[in-house]
Amino acid sequence: MKALSAAAERHRGLIALSARETDRVLKLWSQTIVAPVLASFLFIAVFGLSLGGRIRSIDGVDYEVFIVPGLIAMAMAQAAYSNNSSSVFQARADRYINDVLSSPMRSWEVNLGLSFGGVVRALAIGASLLVLAVVATDVPVREPLVLVAAVAILLVLFASLGVVVGVYADTWDQAGFVNNILILPLSFLGGVFYSVDLLPSPWQEISHVNPIFFLINAIRYGLLGTSDVPIGIALGVTAALALAVATWSAAMFRSGRRLKP
């Protein structure tokens, strides 16, 4: 207990900033959590349950079950990115971040604290969607360790990306640009609703350039035990990308460049 209390005392700034970012998410729970969950669940209901009678199965998996991992991955990625990009941009625009940077917190503590809200939001959405999907479609969890690893990589990648874009953005439009023009289209083209093995050449090869394709397949393997690529490659590609973005984010906070408006 003494060690825990001492650790909490040493990192009280990190705890306070993380609590603030979490409180920001929970205060607007109907918008930050419930709305994305309902939107994604509608995809399961409309596409899965309605088209399931026409598209019987993909890779031996019922269609309404097959689309669940991709929808969970897409919803979590958008939530982690959108939350952190808007939070950091608003902190810079309101000059609230100046107070945080002038505190005795270490650079990695500021970075982690600002990222925490997106992680909480994405986990809440992912867990809620999984519970609803289990009830509606009986989706299994066949490889829980792989699922945990894939979710952790997703959170690091998109939470860090949100912080990076929030630092570089000069307007709200710029903060939302990456989500609307990059993350959402790449998610749909990454095999949320289909297996890329069904695509003709060269579209099948082009799909393998899409990093979100590997992320969706990692989540799918964790839930269903099936993937369009070897799971080691899927985890390796996404982990390398997450490490690169996290390193970029950490370097910005160590240097302090662009953090103050």
pLDDT tens digits for range 177-230:
888 888 988 888 888 888 887 777 777 888 888 999 999 999 999 999 999 899
Of the candidate ranges 53-57, 82-86, 212-216, 233-237, the one whose mean pLDDT is the lowest: 53-57
Give 63-74 pLDDT, tens digit per residue: 888 999 999 999
> What is the distance between the alpha carbons of residues 126 and 77, in angstroms, rounded to a whole number?
10
Indicate if the pLDDT at residue 80 is higher than 90.
yes
31: region left, alpha or beta (phi > 0 left; psi from -120 to 50 alpha): alpha
CA-CA-CA-CA torsion for 65, 66, 69, 74, nearest 10 degrees? -120
Rounded to two decimals, what is the model's pTM?
A: 0.92
Average pLDDT over residues 22-34: 92
Average pLDDT over residues 167-179: 86
- pLDDT score recorded for residue 8: 66
- Tell me the average pLDDT of the chain: 88
Indicate if the pLDDT at residue 2 is higher than 70.
no
